[in-house]
Amino acid sequence: MAELVSVIMPSYNTASFVAESVNSVLQQTYQNWELLIVDDCSSDNSEAVLTELSSRDSRIRYFKLPVNQGSAIARNFALEKAQGRYIAFLDSDDLWVPEKLDVQISAMEVNHWPFTYTAYRRIEENGELGEVLGVPTKVSYSDLLKTCVIGCLTAIYDTKYFGKVPMPLMRKSQDYGLWLSLLKKTPYAFGVNQNLAYYRLRNNSTTANKRKAAMFTWKIYRSEEHTSELQSH
């Protein structure tokens, strides 16, 4: 029987996008999944949208935090409740192609890979398609310190190998911190160089502001990975 995949989806004020993201999970050809959506106390009509979406399928589990605490806490809340062997991540404005889980889980099981990622394509806020970001066949801890090539919406790790590993409690770039933590426990993460997801660029996202993104990367180097100030430049 196919192993259960737990899909972790934090949500904050994405009522305009989240239905499309959830539908991309519902359309997966790999069917043994659970989707854990954690609403980080949105101020838009996300609650109504997510309540309706969760009523469509028993595999969708919806939770709402009482106060806004950031995506790291939302993701870790979902992780605690996850029941699957595999942990996958999808933000509430991003998308998967229908074969995403099938292709990636098959590669993990055939090759005994505990941590994988894939290529993905950027899309604009209005849905206009952008460039495809290809990925290397594998990365080590030292490789990832130089540059993060793992898109959060593409990553999957195996709890049978790692156990449940929470994200560091940072407001931004906590996924990068998690990848580094995982790569302290295994020599490589392995890439599937096939476009299996769509990353939405939004005007208010951290990745739309390179200066802010660099600041949060520096914070990971210093506070999470304890590198020297010289190494961080």
Distance CA 204, CA 177 (A): 22
CB contact at 8 A, 192 and 148:
no
Please write down the HEC assignment for all residues of 53-85.
HHCCCCCEEEEECCCCCCHHHHHHHHHHHCCCC
Looking at residue 222, the DSSP 8-state letter turns out to be I
Across residues 197-223, what is the average pLDDT? 58
Across residues 61-69, what is the average pLDDT? 95
Q: Calculate Rg over the CA atoms of the chain.
A: 17
> Which residue, chain included where needed, has tokens 């994200």?
167
The answer, yes or no, to whether residue 230 has pLDDT greater than 50, is: no
The per-residue pLDDT for range 79-108, each reduced to its tens digit, is 999 999 999 999 999 999 999 999 999 999
User: β-strands 60-64, 129-133: how paired?
Assistant: unpaired
The per-residue pLDDT for range 118-130, each reduced to its tens digit, is 999 999 988 889 9
Across residues 39-68, what is the average pLDDT? 96
Indicate the pTM of the whole model: 0.89
Longest dimension (CA), the chain: 52
Looking at residue 172, the DSSP 8-state letter turns out to be S
CB contact at 8 A, 74 and 50:
no
Quote the pLDDT of residue 229.
38
* Confidence bin at 226 (pLDDT 50/70/90): low
Quote the pLDDT of residue 22.
98
pLDDT > 70 in the chain, percent: 87
Quote the pLDDT of residue 218.
43
CB contact at 8 A, 50 and 37:
yes
The answer, yes or no, to whether residue 77 has pLDDT greater than 90, is: yes
